[in-house]
Structure 1
Amino acid sequence: MNGTAMNGIGKMEAATRMGFAARGIMYLLIAFLALWWGRAEDGPDALKLLDSGAGRAILAVMALGFFAYGIWRLAEVFIDSEGHGSKAKGLAVRAGGTVSGIIHLGLGVYTARLAAGQPAGASGGGSGGGGGTEEGAATALSLPGGEWLLMLAAAALLGTAVVNLVKAIKGSFLKQLDSRAAAQDWVKWAGRGGYAARGVVFAIMAWFFWKAGAAASAEQAGGLGEALGWLTGWPRMAVAIGLGLFGIFSLVEARYRRINDPKVLARLQNAGRRLTP
């Protein structure tokens, strides 16, 4: 791989690490709002906390990070940059990267608009959030077989919940970190707590989407904010703490995630050769 290509990959890696940091800040804001002010918000609504003064400079950097992270996740799908393979399990993981990539590109657009002081559009109002989720559900219901589309989304969310819970139990996420960070007990428990909390939230969201599909009612669909708001008492506090731990773990990933693994670079090089006339 020539120097120009390596330089490009280096810049992309740096920007992707910014994406992990941006994700970490977003989850920390969600946890802060839930634990300090008792507000259950989704990611976009939590980002509004930075929508003033110096906070907009932070939002601008976060927007770049979200864009880079989204592109990186989409790269998993098209060129298998993480080497998941083409078997059923690998294809399922890569398909999940498509959803994550699109979501983070959307977060990049939303955050960039906030940073520019422009109206970012409705992302869910009130303490429950989920307005954008309801709009998406309503769009799905307007299509032929919309109810089944929502039920399919519910199944996908449930699958994501299971994947997160399995990661929490097995600690498999440590394999993606530099050994110096993976050896730290606090990193392991931050990751476990974070993935467990996300598993709970995604499971609740799956239930919301299933009900929305079964009743053909977009109002019953809900995002992260509504899932968190559905919980009460100590379960909500425990999940909020877990989401905060996931924010901390994401910041660890920003520094120690194995992005420039030699095997990944080799796959990128091979992909580049295939794309070159």
Structure 2
Amino acid sequence: MKDSTKKISKFGLFAKGSIYLISGILTLLSALNMGGSKSGKFKVLDFLEKQPLGNVILIVLALGLISYSVWRFIQCFSDPENEGSDTKAKLKRTGFGVSGLIYLALAGLAIKKVVAGGGSSSGGQNYVDTFGPTVITIVFIIIGVALAVKAIFHFKKAYQKKFMDEYSIADLKYHKLAKNAGYFGYYARAVVSGIIAFFFLKAGLYSGQNEIKGTQDAFSFLQDSSYGDILLGLVAAGLACYGIFVVLLSKHKKFD
């Protein structure tokens, strides 16, 4: 694999890890009533925009997210890590492509905030009028199923503890930190993905209220449940840990 491809991957992973770390910390502070706010990926951009040198931070972050998208597209189409071509590998590589599109959209929003000077990330719920309720319902069900599969994948990855196979050396300085952060982080991602899957499936199958739900809505769902602040705090801490895991991975990722 080319050194330039490895550098693109590492820069992208650092940007992705930073997003999760900030999201988790802000949400954890909210759960502890210490400020902060329930923050998904897109909400993190609003937070960064308000910081000193906010536009500079957003531009650097956007470049990192574009790098991550490029890496995902390379994984999808070129298979640099030899995932294979069987059904399981094809599904995994398709997931890489979808991930690339999501983070490319996030990068685009970050750039839009710099160019247009902020503003909301959405122009309203016009997609229902554009595509029609039947098409949207089908799309929501497909998204819900995909997210449910993703949640199962994260649970499995945490349970089997195979995520450390991505690291290049077993005796790196922060190996134990990375292992514990990844273990906690993948469980937290599984919980969030499962809740969002429930939202999409419920909207598609029952309610007919086709509203796009995301991480921030999953946080609200947790907080409104029994022992809400405790559950929210645990999941938020888990996402922050996942951010730490990915940031460390950006330095120690195994490619060959």
TM over 0.5: yes
Does 2:94 correspond to 1:95?
A: yes
Q: How does 1:17-36 map to 2 (within 5 A)?
A: 17-36=10-29
Matches of 1:28 and 1:114, distance apart in 2: 21
Match of 2:4 in 1: 11
Matches of 2:250 and 2:14, distance apart in 1: 5
* Preserved contact between residue 29 and residue 47 of structure 1 (Cα < 8 Å): no
For residues 101-141 of structure 1, what are the alpha-carbon distances to aligned partners after superposition, in whole Å with 9 as ceiling and x for unaligned? 00011111112233446336425xxxxxxx98x666x3796
Match of 2:144 in 1: 154
* Preserved contact between residue 182 and residue 188 of structure 1 (Cα < 8 Å): no
Does 2:244 correspond to 1:251?
A: no
- Structure 1 residue matching 2:84: 3-state secondary structure: coil
Q: Which amino acid aligns with 1:258?
A: K
Structure 1 range deviating more: 48-57 or 228-237: 48-57
Query: Mind listing any 5+ residue stretches in structure 1 that lack a counterpart?
Result: 1-5, 124-130, 262-277
For normalisation by structure 2, the TM-score amounts to 0.86
For residues 208-240 of structure 1, what are the alpha-carbon distances to aligned partners after superposition, in whole Å with 9 as ceiling and x for unaligned? 000110122213x41111011110221111000
* Matched length: 243
Match of 1:170 in 2: 160
Matches of 1:223 and 1:135, distance apart in 2: 17
Matches of 2:221 and 2:49, distance apart in 1: 26
Q: CA deviation at 1:171?
A: 1.4
- Structure 2 residue matching 1:185: 3-state secondary structure: helix
* Preserved contact between residue 18 and residue 62 of structure 1 (Cα < 8 Å): no
- Structure 2 residue matching 1:218: 3-state secondary structure: coil
Q: Which amino acid aligns with 1:217?
A: Q
Could you say what the CA RMSD is over the residues aligned between the two structures, in angstroms?
Answer: 2.3
Taking a change above 3 Å as real, the CA distance of residues 49 and 183 of structure 1, as seen in their structure-2 partners, is closer
User: Which gives a bigger RCO, structure 1 or 2 (Cα 8 Å, sep 6+)?
Assistant: 2
For residues 234-271 of structure 1, what are the alpha-carbon distances to aligned partners after superposition, in whole Å with 9 as ceiling and x for unaligned? 11110000000011011101111124x2xxxxxxxxxx
* Preserved contact between residue 16 and residue 65 of structure 1 (Cα < 8 Å): no
Q: Which amino acid aligns with 2:49?
A: D
Match of 2:104 in 1: 105
For normalisation by structure 1, the TM-score amounts to 0.80
Query: Mind listing any 5+ residue stretches in structure 2 that lack a counterpart?
Result: 32-36, 223-227
Q: How does 1:191-230 map to 2 (within 5 A)?
A: 191-214=182-205, 215-219=207-211, 221-230=212-221
Match of 1:3 in 2: none
Matches of 2:129 and 2:237, distance apart in 1: 33
Q: Which amino acid aligns with 2:15?
A: A
Match of 1:268 in 2: none
Q: CA deviation at 1:207?
A: 0.3
* Preserved contact between residue 141 and residue 147 of structure 1 (Cα < 8 Å): no
Identity %: 29
